[in-house]
Structure 1
Amino acid sequence: MTVSLTPQTWYWQGYPILYRHQGSQGTPLLLIHGFGASSLHWRKNIPALAAHHRVYAVDLLGFGGSAKPAPSALRYTFETWATLVLDFCREVIGQPTVLVGNSIGCVVALQAAVFDPAWVTQLILLNCSLRQLHDRKRQQLPWYRRWGTTLLQQLLGNRTLGTYFFRQIAQPRTVRRILQQAYANTAAVTDELVEILLAPAQERGAVDVFLAFVRYSQGPLPEDLLPQVTCPTYFLWGAADPWEPLSEGQKFTQFRCVQEFVPLPEVGHCPQDEAPEQVNAYILKWLGKISVTD
């Protein structure tokens, strides 16, 4: 018997963390969302995957319905989120787990697999964040682009300006416009999706989480972590992603852990929401349950 998608709460270091669970048998999966999203970004995937697996989706600290403590209390870094994910696997799931990530959720999954390989059996990564604003990446940009990004981050360091900037973004029209840029299939940008992303942005602490992350230009890059990963790793990549170019993602195939890299034509940054049938089929294939026909 499966469990509904009603949110549940787990406490991590004293902070309430929201998660959803469905499925009572098979290999456990943990779905990890991207920046500004939540476990509901996997709403089109959980039921199909739960027919064969125990499926969990978590709202990372600072996002969705989870706690949003001030950055002065706890740093929002990939190391922090990876530690949370591993503790969730140990305390809630109770056995080694397949991690499935989208965007920055991929970097979280990679960091978790490096921190404790015994608890991560497989990685499935969808349009992994390339972390283009990372300090090392910026050094490769022309000086004027490097200077402009640094100036913007400095301005956002002013809380008054940063809050104003965030409030302009956290509007239905702006969220819809950003999504229509990120999604190749703009029909997938529904009122429901806009509300899923917008509602947590109204919560206390959301502004500070946003400002902390947009100014976070350190920590690991995917290419730092992939050489250290020992479990089988699979990539799905929406080929029409305007933020994370397919040509850059394909470079990850050089790493020994990568078993397969599949581009999805005419799909953007969030394949799990734009092309859920394709994504679900590949995930189940890689978990050995069904085959995908070309």
Structure 2
Amino acid sequence: MQATTASSTTSLPGQYWQWRGHNVYYVRAGEKQPQRPPLLLVHGFGASTDHWRKNITGLNQDFEVFAIDLLGFGRSAKPKLQYSGDLWRDQLNDFISEVIGQKTVLAGNSLGGYASLCVAAQHPDSTAGLVLLNSAGPFSTPQPTSEPEALQSQIQPPKESSGLQKLLGNSVKWMFQQPLAQFLLFQYVRQRWVIRQTLEKVYLDKSAITDQLVEEIYRPAYDAGALDVFVSVFSTPQGEKVDVLLRQLTCSLLLLWGEADPWMNCRERSQKFRQYYPELKEYFLTAGHCPHDEVPNQVNSLLRDWVLSIN
């Protein structure tokens, strides 16, 4: 394992870890606590370690806290690979093994929640507990749209009964699988005003949408390889179903829902989680898709108390 210091626009300095020949960026804060597990915070689609700033500074007095940029996002490398839950599962598991060095509580938002669930279910020796914040991922039965499917739903017509409309829907889907269309779509979605517009749809508290937040999402989208990552995420087949993963899960599970999330029906999704893992604990918060950024004090308090209770 090699680590080098990296510059950051945040007040928290980060480092690079070499994984499979690629630079992976992470932040570490706080001191190791002999009687408490460390925390590993995992961002959602298009975000990075920056998105956890309020949580890192709010939790590092009580825990050793790590946050990581998934390969393909943030300050991490963006090689041309097939991006999937399996890839990020392996990245997170190896990071826990090589860098953290002990069982860890994983906390993931959206896409990062799905990747964290994959680790917890399939690598129990790495996991001391699991916290999912508006976690993405498909169930075996149809579920309300979630990230990144939400973006696809914005560019594809809704499902209709008409054969002509079905044909048109398939045509649109085919069109956005073409390289030129993918390029043009990516040029569109990575503009600052589009990023802000998207955030305004999924944040309940609009005051949390700062210029800094927009810039933190905008900046990595112009890194070399960002287009390839975008295309891969939307073309890779779905990973293991959430219900299958929940059946494999053995650690304690906390769900934190931003109930105003327009990308998923949190109450309905919650029932699915309870169906397959009834012993979980959960809270519904007055927030949107990213409760850790909108209501960080509530999230930090609930996460802290829960980790101490299971420990």
TM over 0.5: yes
User: Aligned Cα RMSD in Å?
Assistant: 2.2
Q: Secondary structure at the match of 2:281?
A: strand
- Structure 1's 142 and 130: CA in aligned 2 closer, same or farther, altered over 3 A? farther
Q: Specify which of 250, 273, 281 is matched with residue 260 of structure 1.
A: 281
1:37 matched residue in structure 2: 47
Letter in 2 for 1:60: L
Q: Specify which of 225, 234, 244 is matched with residue 224 of structure 1.
A: 244
- Structure 1's 147 and 62: CA in aligned 2 closer, same or farther, altered over 3 A? farther
- Greater displacement, 206-215 / 251-260: 251-260
For normalisation by structure 2, the TM-score amounts to 0.84
Letter in 1 for 2:117: L
Q: How far is the alpha carbon of 1:150 from its aligned partner?
A: 4.8
- Structure 1's 176 and 229: CA in aligned 2 closer, same or farther, altered over 3 A? same
Distance 1:204 1:52 in 2: 37
Distance 2:229 2:41 in 1: 21
- Structure 1's 148 and 189: CA in aligned 2 closer, same or farther, altered over 3 A? farther
Q: Secondary structure at the match of 1:44?
A: helix
For normalisation by structure 1, the TM-score amounts to 0.89
- Greater displacement, 94-103 / 25-34: 25-34
Distance 1:143 1:56 in 2: 48
- Structure 1's 148 and 16: CA in aligned 2 closer, same or farther, altered over 3 A? farther
- Structure 1's 151 and 32: CA in aligned 2 closer, same or farther, altered over 3 A? farther
Q: How far is the alpha carbon of 1:221 from its aligned partner?
A: 2.7
Contact 1:253-1:261 at 8 Å conserved across structures: no
- Structure 1's 87 and 148: CA in aligned 2 closer, same or farther, altered over 3 A? farther
- Structure 1's 257 and 18: CA in aligned 2 closer, same or farther, altered over 3 A? farther
Letter in 2 for 1:184: L
Distance 1:214 1:55 in 2: 31
1:20 matched residue in structure 2: 27
Contact 2:30-2:61 at 8 Å conserved across structures: yes
Q: Secondary structure at the match of 1:287?
A: helix
| Percent of aligned pairs with the same amino acid | 39
Show the 5 A alignment for 1:84-163.
84-131=91-138, 132=145, 133=149, 142=160, 150-163=170-183
Distance 2:125 2:243 in 1: 21
1:165 matched residue in structure 2: 185
- Structure 1's 257 and 86: CA in aligned 2 closer, same or farther, altered over 3 A? farther
Letter in 1 for 2:132: L
Unpaired runs of 5+ residues, structure 2, are 6-10, 139-144, 151-158
Letter in 2 for 1:13: R
Q: Secondary structure at the match of 2:88?
A: helix
- Greater displacement, 148-157 / 195-204: 148-157
Q: Specify which of 186, 199, 204 is matched with residue 206 of structure 2.
A: 186
2:270 matched residue in structure 1: 250
Letter in 1 for 2:24: I
Deviations 1:266-290 (A, max 9, x none): x10000100100100000010127x
Q: How far is the alpha carbon of 1:153 from its aligned partner?
A: 4.0
